[in-house]
Amino acid sequence: MGEAVEIDDNDYPKEIWSFILSGNKFRKKGPTGYELAHLADHKEHNNRCAKEFVVKDIKHSITYFGLFTCPTNTVYIPSALLRPTDFSISLRLLLLRRSNQLYGRFCKILPPAYDLPELHKPEWDINKFEWADPVGDVSNVDSFLLYRQGKLDKMLRTTA
């Protein structure tokens, strides 16, 4: 499982959202009424990536355990939508398309082996939904990157 810096720690993707929303390190409490949801599958057992996405490179279409802690694979959604994202490919793809629309020009939403599939159901077009304006301050991403670099440096010193 060498595809991830950290595994099984939901706090890691919450860090970037905490910095963007508040400018501070995550303090074990997210926005009230919201939950962190993973959009692309990050587990080995019953992994859905090959079924849900276009596979560009079969050699590299492995299970990406790093998707568990990857900020681009997470979204805060209203708590009532948490279960539907677990079971609805259409809802997950809608959120991934929206994420790609917002952030795709400067970060990868999916691992390199995968692409989002063509839209086959016009009713799930992102333009047919009313979206709230994005919140937060991206100028705080620099603070997050400094925090993350310190954490990585500490991990590398510990393992060396």
pLDDT tens digits, 74-118: 888 888 887 777 778 888 889 889 988 988 887 777 878 888 899
Half-sphere exposure of 29 (CA within 13 A, CB side): 1
What's the farthest any 2 CA atoms get from each other in the chain? Answer: 52
pLDDT bucket at 1, cuts 50 / 70 / 90: very low
- Is there a contact between 70 and 126 (Cβ–Cβ < 8 Å)? no
- Quote the pLDDT of residue 3: 53
Q: Calculate the average pLDDT of the chain.
A: 78
d(CA 14, CA 36): 8
- Quote the pLDDT of residue 73: 77
Residue 18 CB contacts under 8 Å (≥ 6 apart), including other chains = 24, 25, 26, 27
pLDDT bucket at 5, cuts 50 / 70 / 90: low
Domains in the chain: boundaries? 11-159
- Record the pTM: 0.72
At residue 126, does pLDDT exceed 90?
Answer: yes
d(CA 100, CA 82): 20
CA distances from 159 to 5, 15, 152, 153, 156 (A): 12, 23, 11, 10, 5
Nearest to 43 by CA among 64, 59, 57, 14: 64
pLDDT tens digits, 6-27: 555 667 677 777 887 788 887 7
